Amino acid sequence: MANSAQAKKRARQAEKNRQHNTSIRSTVRTYIKRVVKAIATGDKAQAEAAYKAAVPVIDHTARKGLIHPNKAARHKSRLSQHIRGMQT
């Protein structure tokens, strides 16, 4: 365990940041799941709306370094591909 005051503070900060990052990662997964559920129901309009809501969240998470930019691009690409494949 941390012995110095500086190390104790860094441990507190690390835990606080870990919890914050976990929360944001969970939010991203929730937005992605909303798009996937909309695709599964077959409602293209709802899927597109969910996708438009999810893209800024995914981009923001990648920009902040919580997920890799390539992972963000992969999620957006695959979701977009599924939506484009849906019938109107």
pLDDT tens-digit map of 8-22: 999 999 999 999 999
Q: What is the pTM of this model?
A: 0.87
The mean per-residue pLDDT over the stretch 37-48 comes to: 95
Q: Can you name the CATH fold of 5-85?
A: Methane Monooxygenase Hydroxylase; Chain G, domain 1 (1.20.58)
pLDDT at 52 exceeding the cut of 90: yes
Binned at pLDDT 50, 70 and 90, residue 87 comes out as confident
Residue with tokens 């597109």: 48
**3 vs 65, more confident:** 65
